[in-house]
Amino acid sequence: MLAINSDFHGTGRNSADIRESLAKIARTGFSHVHWCHEWTGSYIYSVHEMHQIREWRDQAGLAVKGVHASAGEYQSDLKDYTSSNEHNRLAGVELVKNRIDLAHILDAGDIVLHFYPQDSLFQKAMLSFNELEPYCKDRGIRICIENAFEIAPADSRYIFDTLFKTYDSEFMGLCFDTGHALMACKENALEYAERYNDRIFMIHLHDNHGEHDEHLIPFEARFNWDAFAPILARSPYSLPAVIESIYKGNGNEQDWLQKARVAGIRFSEMIQKYRDECPSS
């Protein structure tokens, strides 16, 4: 079992593009897709579109491992669940609920959400989470907050400490993003994975050289996969692993997908090896 992001070569803007992306993922041998289309911006899925995506999923023979939700437009407070403007905040909550509904229809289990509140807006974000908690639990969907490379480690620790002290693991967890962790924490790239090990319910696996968000295939750059595998093995994370890499047009696309699959299988086997050796993990 293995998952890859639906937008591995960009977000297609028509039905044919999206269906072909899913078909390519399935032909390569992936069992799951991590739905990342419209992960940013203010797009609202119609319920009819949600059921259409479910049909495409079934036609491709794929399952869905998580939905990457949207926190609104980049550098805008429109549809921003952390906004100080109450109308914009409520619109942001509505946007997140839209992705919760999508995850529910796709049997995805979790949504991934970015979280960039300024200190003065933290309580606004908490208000939004309070409103989202019963909505999530009623639909069996968990919110996994993704570690961001734009936020200093001390600030990230404060954010995650506060969230995980306030909300239970049925509602909120961590999406550990390997590339972001390497960029933000450098030599301490595994800090969040260790500190919040019992809250890892989603992962984004990709690599870089520590400076830019390159979204390379795992094992292509500097992230320490050997050290991460036993940490993830101790967590409650449920396979399949999720690759979140981007094809940039270099070489044959199908060959690139196959290389991503081989890397994902390699890392999945590393996780399973540690779990087999320590069944209580």
The domain ranges of the chain are 3-277
Query: Beta partners for 113?
Result: 145
Mean pLDDT of 181-186: 97
| Lowest-pLDDT range of 71-80, 87-96, 226-235 | 71-80
pLDDT of residue 153: 94
Alpha-carbon separation of residue 19 from 23, 54, 57, 59, 136 (angstroms): 6, 11, 9, 9, 28
Tell whether the model's pLDDT for residue 222 goes beyond 80.
yes
What pTM value is reported for the model? Answer: 0.96
Across the chain, mean pLDDT equals 95
Q: pLDDT tens digits for 95-108?
A: 999 999 999 999 99
Binned at pLDDT 50, 70 and 90, residue 281 comes out as very low
Mean pLDDT of 14-28: 95
Q: pLDDT tens digits for 109-167?
A: 999 999 987 766 789 999 999 999 999 999 999 999 999 999 999 999 999 999 999 99
Which strand ranges, in their side-by-side order, compose the sheet holding 3-5? 200-204, 172-177, 142-146, 110-113, 63-68, 32-35, 3-5, 242-243
CATH of domain 3-277: 3.20.20.150
Percent of the chain beyond pLDDT 90?
Answer: 90
Mean pLDDT of 78-96: 95
